[in-house]
Every structure is written in structure tokens, then in C-alpha cells.
Structure 1
Amino acid sequence: MSEQVWPRRLTVAPYVLLAALVVVTVAIKRDQPRSLAVDLVLCALVGLWKLGMFTLRPAWRTRHRPMAVFIAGFVLLLAVLVVRDPWFGFLTPAGYFYTFILLQWPGELIGIGAVAVIAGWAQSYDIPKTTVLGLLGCAAVIGVNVAGMCLAAWVGQRSEQLSQQRQEAVDALTETNRRLEAILAENAGLHEQLLTQAREAGITDERQRMAREIHDTIAQGLTGIVTQLQAAEHAADWRRHVTAAVGLARESLTEARRSVHALRPQALQSATLSEAIADVVRRWSALHGIDGQLTTTGTPRVVTPETESTLLRATQEALANVAKYAQAGRVGVTLSYLEREVALDVRDDGVGFDPSHRTTSAGGGFGLVAMRQRVEALNGTLEIESEPGSGTAISARVPTPGAPA
């Protein structure tokens, strides 16, 4: 425990009070030299005791045994002074002060009780103590002092214990929060590492699959074509080799188209974009019990596989966000074939959200970011309109360069 620092006024005040009582004693007992001399000697002992045990020993103030000795000596000298002259009872506040601050519980209670007895004796100095009634009155005054001060000491001790318990609880909660934050930060780092590894593993697997696909189909087909054409250069029946090369070329082209189509969403492999979106809306509506309708406007036409895949994925993401966050009762999906672009609009009557906060009820986390990246990769635009209580509208527009002018 570090050395306790005391305000100077609390250190000096008892000396000032003692000096004032010395002046009072001299004024009252100036015609009693012997008694006055004894009082002055006792006052000097009190001052020297305080000076040697407390004022000049700041390092002792946190050591309980030296402070117990100091307070015991101070209370004993104070008791002698009060018995001789009751006005020295004005020095008892210093005794309370030292006892409250310097003694540990329950020793503090004993010190407080002793000082209270001295204070009560001083307060009952004018009560005659030669009769039973007088003795009872004196005992009552002392009892009130002891009970009141001991109760105050108990209340103070209890308050200190409660304060310490609250502080320990706050410290424990702070430490728990710190550890939780550290764990969350570590988990976030591990999650990011896992995502990175998963993406890298997915990319590697896809590259290996495509490499095998190209090797087993297109590369082998091209090798066969080269072989047939080389054979045709030196063969009399070169037409047979050319015919075989043409056949291999057609087979390789078919395999190449099959590989490209294998990269498209399953829903688009055997259906048009409108049919695929209609099927997604129908299945989503049946799954979540929310009324969902698709409306197709304009004249449907063939668009690039990338455009079809992007708009289908946008529909799936928008509907997933509605199911998770919107609390909607109805959803309308509109697929519009415009003059130079294809537009997809998804509107719901849900709770809405603030678009500036990407983690709110629209679920604008990675889903909306990925949707925007897909659309913008095709030079398209993605717009989000929403406000709390007014539903949400998501509009994706993708240009179609091959559209008629």
C-alpha cells in the first residue's frame, strides 16, 4: 500500500484546536498554577504524541499496528484531560477523525466507542454524579453518544463494503468485456482466414475442374483434328480424313458449348430468364408463405448468359433479404425488357430500412455488395430505395448492346 497523503488542513486543524483549548485553559486557571501546570504538561504530551506518531511519520499512516498504538495513546491522554477539564471534550472530533480513517474494522468500532464515552462524559459534566438519578443521566448521555457514533461507523463500513463490491463487479465486467472483445477480434480474424482459404480452395478446385474439362474435351478434339489434317496431306483418300476432322471439330464445339453452359445457374439450363425467375418466385413464396408475383413487360428476347445469370442471382438475393428482414406480406417482382436494357425490380411492403446503414433490416451486408458488384461488372446500375415503415424497392438495370435501335 502506498504512503497515504493527507490534506494539510486536516493535519494542522487538531494542533490549532489544541492550541485554542490551551488558551482557554490558561484563561480559566490562571489563579490555579499547579493545576494549570499539569494541564499544560498533558497538552504538551498530546501535541508531542501527535507530532511523533503521526505528523512526522507519514509512512506509518497505512500501517495498522502503529496507528492503533497512536490512537490508544491519544484517547488515553484525551480522557485524562476531559476528566480534569470538561472543555477538552472539544478535542474529541480529532479522535473521531483519526479513528474513522486509520483503524480497520472491527477495531474502528472499539476506538469510536472509546471516543464517544469521553465525549459523553464531557457533555454531562454539569450533571451531579452523587445521586442515582445523576448517574443515570450521565449514563444516558454517554449511551446516546456511543450508540449514535457506533451506528454511524457501522453504516459507513457497510457503505464502503457495498461500494467495494460494486467496484469489484464493475472491474470484473470490464475484464470480461475486454476478454470478449479479444475473443471476438480473434474469431473475426479466423473467420476471415477461413473465408480466404475457402475462396482460394474454390478457385483452385474450379480451375482444376476446368483444366480437366478442357483436356478431356476440347484439347483432345483439337489433337484429333490436327492428326486427321496431317494424315490428309499424304493420303490419296484425303476427303475421308477431312470429313473426320470436320466431325471432330463439330464434336469439340458441342463439348465447348456444354462446358460453357455448365457454368450457368441450373435454373437457366432448360428455361428462359422469365421462366427461371417465375420458378424462383413461386418456390420462394411457397417456402415462406409470402405472396409473391412476377410481372414481365416488354418483348422477351435473348440476352447474354452473364446478364441472365446476374438478374437471376439478383432476384434470389433480394427475395432472401425480404424473407430475413423485411417482415413483408407481399412482394412484387417485375422483369422489364426495355429498348436498350433489361430491368429487374423487386418491391416489398415490409418495414423498410435506412439505406445509409448497410447492416440494418435490409440485410445490406455482403449480399447487396455482391449484387451491386455483379450488376456493375456488366456496366449496369443497382438502386435501392427505402425508408423505415415504407417498404423497400431494389432496381437492377443491365444494358443489352445487341438490342434493336
Structure 2
Amino acid sequence: MGVRPDGLDRRDAIVLRVVPYGALAVSMVLVLLADAKTPAQVWTTLGLTATAAVWTLIVALPGASTPGPWLAGVYYAGLLVLFAVMILRSPLFGLFAWTGYIQAAYLRGRWRYVGMVATAAVVSATYVGGFKNLNASTVPVYLIFVAATSAVALALLVLELRRRTALDRLAEANARREAALEENAGLHAQLLAQAREAGVLDERQRMAREIHDTLAQGFTGIIAQLEAARQNPVEWRRYADQAQTLARENLAEARRSVEALRPPHLDEARLPEAIAGMSERWSRTSGVPVGVETAGEPQPMIPEVEVALFRVAQEALTNVAKHAGASRVGLTLTYLDDVVLLDVRDDGVGFDPAVNDGGFGLTSMRQRLLRVAGRLEIESSPGEGTAINATVPALPAGAHP
């Protein structure tokens, strides 16, 4: 890659390499056609053109390093001398001298302003027919052109520098924003990992309570019935029947505990279909019509998130059947870029969230969502129905927080 002076992008650097050579070639052709009457003039024109082309190689060679402040100053000073000599040869070389305005980009700081004014002083000579025509009558006109072109050039330079400053600030702001987004993503992933660990611990504690409160007691009862049957051979059938009943109840409890970990409906269908099927079964049982909608493009998510949304929808409908007295229910699952929303609305009796926290059902929903870094919002008032809004991060299946 060629030179990239400070503050210039790739496109500007290419322009700085290409435009001077294009302007030099056009100037040479114009001078040869219109102002080269003798062989000496022809050779002078070709010699000046070759000198300018070689001098421009200082900053135009592919792979050349960015010129430092001193090299840039020397290059630009030599360029101004070339401009003056070439315009002295023919004012038509003013087209090439005009590139001094854009090549001032090689200069640093306030030296760019000096370069602009110096270029205006050289180029303005072409407006009076070249340096050879400077005399008492043309100098005032020349100075007016110098002042006018300098003012315009400096104004354009100021505007360009402001534009570049604004672009640099915008780039810095975008960089800070991207860094903040990456940091937030990292914090979010860390929070989700911690929530998942807490969820695993809570689930273990729940399973321990389930085993202690139901399965362990059930097995104790079964053992007691079998021991009683051994001690009372005459009535063994009655004790065996009771043991069988306890075993079936324990089996049902075990199945219920396992299903609480991963609903079987999610193994058979995607989340929208699983929620729709569960809602349809709930509607048949409760007699309350329920409408289910899905917005956005459904995407498979990690199991913890899908289970949390399914259980929240299930618990919300259970609460409607128990407490709302609703005549209809609406359920919407919305997939966005970074989150998934679940809204459950009913037209029931409602309640005041500031007075009534909704009981165990809403507490259970909040805990489930917290385990996956989600949140739950309740909108309700007496006689106005209830809206439950659940939000969870849209973590695709296979993601590892």
C-alpha cells in the first residue's frame, strides 16, 4: 500500500497518488500542443514534466512509508519550486500546480495553512498570464487573486478538517459503543452462568425436598406394608394391595418430578408448538378460550431458556384458571434479536400488584426467570384483567455462557 498521511483514509491516499500524475500528464499535453513552438520549448517541457514526475515519486511509490514532518516539508517546498518554474515556462502548467491544494494534506498542523497560501500565490500567477506578465499593472490583480483563492482554499481546508474531526469522534464513539456492548455481553454471560449455577443448586434442593417429602415417605410406607404382610400371613393380600397403591403413587410422583426438569412437550416440538399445544389442552380443561400468537422468526434456544418460558406460560394459565375468572386469554411469544418476550393477558378480575404480590405462582415464575437472567413484569388492576410479561435473553441452542 502507498502513503497514508495522518488523518487520511485509503481512498484519500489513492487520490493523492493518482491525481497529481493525471494533472501532470494533461498539463504536459496542453503545453506541447499550444505552447511548444521550438525544439527547445519541447525539450524544456518534457524535462520539467520528468522532473516533476520523479519528485512526486517521493510520496507516490507503492510501499513508501508515510513521510515525516521534515520530509513532507522538504517535498512540498520542492513541489512549490517546481510549480513556479513550470508556470514560468507556461501558465498551462497551472493545472498541475492546482494539485498543491490537495497535496497540502502531507503537511502537519498549521503548516497545511501555509502550504495552501503558498500554493494560491503560485497558482494565481496563471490568472495574469504567468510570472512573466507580473508588472505594476498586473500585480494588484494578482494580489487580489492570491487573497481570494487563499481565503477559499483555507475555508475549504477548515471545513474538511472539521469533517474529519467529526468522523474521528464518530469512529471513537462507535469504538466505545462496541467495547461497551462486548463488556455488557460478557457481564450478561457471567450473570447467566451464575444464574444457571444458582438454578442448579435450587433444583437440587427442590429434588431433595421432593424425595424427602414424597418418595422417601412413600417407600417407607411400602416397606411397612410388606413387613405387616409378613407378620400377618392371613391378611397379606390387604397389605400387598396397599403397598401396590403406594408404589403407583410414588411412581406418579417420580414422573412428575422428572417432568418438572424438562417438559416432555419440548422434546417432541419446538417452543412455539409446545406452548400452543399446552395452551390448547388447558383451554379444553378450563373451558376458557385462549389465543396463541408467535411474532418474529422462532429460533431454537438453550434448554434452560425454553423450559423457563414454557413453565412460565404454564404457571400463568394455571393462575388464570384458579384466580382470574377470565372469559378469554391471549398469549404472545415474540422473538427479537437479543431477547424473547412472552406475554400472557386475560380479561379477568385482576388485582393490585402493590397490595397483592400474586402468591406462590408469580414468585415461582420470577425465580424461574432469574435462573436464566430473565425478568417478570406484572400489569394489573382490580376489574381490568392482568398482563404478565416475561423477558429472557435469546441465547441460541449450543451457546455456552
TM-score, length of structure 1 as denominator length: 0.51
2:201 alignment counterpart:
197
CA RMSD across the alignment: 4.9
Unaligned 5+ residue runs, structure 1?
A: 231-241, 264-294, 297-312, 323-329, 333-345, 372-390, 393-405
Contact 2:331–2:343 (8 Å) recurs in 1: yes
Provide the rounded CA distance (Å) in 2 between the counterparts of 1:85 and 1:46.
15
2:342 alignment counterpart:
360
Superposed CA deviations along residues 59-78 of structure 1, whole A, max 9, x for unmatched, are 33523343432222111111
1:146, distance to aligned residue in structure 2 (A): 0.6
Change (3 A) 1:205 1:152: same
Contact 2:84–2:122 (8 Å) recurs in 1: yes
Change (3 A) 1:81 1:206: same
Provide the rounded CA distance (Å) in 1 between the counterparts of 2:74 and 2:333.
72
1:123, distance to aligned residue in structure 2 (A): 1.2
| Corresponding letter in the other structure for 1:347 | S
Contact 1:25–1:36 (8 Å) recurs in 2: no
1:187, distance to aligned residue in structure 2 (A): 2.4
1:275 alignment counterpart:
none
TM-score, length of structure 2 as denominator length: 0.52
1:91 alignment counterpart:
96
SS at match of 2:99: helix
Q: How does 1:218-367 map to 2 (within 5 A)?
A: 317-318=316-317, 320=319, 331-332=324-325, 346-348=326-328, 352-354=330-332, 359-362=341-344
Provide the rounded CA distance (Å) in 2 between the counterparts of 1:155 and 1:86.
29
| Corresponding letter in the other structure for 2:117 | G
2:53 alignment counterpart:
47
1:156, distance to aligned residue in structure 2 (A): 0.9
Provide the rounded CA distance (Å) in 1 between the counterparts of 2:149 and 2:49.
24
Superposed CA deviations along residues 292-330 of structure 1, whole A, max 9, x for unmatched, are xxx99xxxxxxxxxxxxxxxx9997437579xxxxxxx9
Contact 1:60–1:67 (8 Å) recurs in 2: no
Change (3 A) 1:12 1:139: closer
Residue 107 (structure 2) pairs with residue 103 (structure 1): yes
2:128 alignment counterpart:
124
Between the two structures, name the one with larger relative contact order (CA 8 Å, sep ≥ 6).
Answer: 2
Percent of paired sites with the same residue: 17
Change (3 A) 1:219 1:314: farther
2:152 alignment counterpart:
148
Unaligned 5+ residue runs, structure 2?
A: 5-12, 254-285, 288-311, 347-360, 366-384, 387-401
Contact 2:20–2:99 (8 Å) recurs in 1: no
Residue 14 (structure 2) pairs with residue 6 (structure 1): yes
Aligned length: 270
Residue 77 (structure 2) pairs with residue 69 (structure 1): no
Provide the rounded CA distance (Å) in 2 between the counterparts of 1:155 and 1:77.
28
Contact 1:89–1:123 (8 Å) recurs in 2: no
2:381 alignment counterpart:
none
1:186, distance to aligned residue in structure 2 (A): 3.2
Contact 2:59–2:66 (8 Å) recurs in 1: no
2:164 alignment counterpart:
160
1:380 alignment counterpart:
none
Provide the rounded CA distance (Å) in 1 between the counterparts of 2:313 and 2:186.
36
| Corresponding letter in the other structure for 2:327 | R
Contact 1:120–1:145 (8 Å) recurs in 2: yes
Contact 2:316–2:344 (8 Å) recurs in 1: no
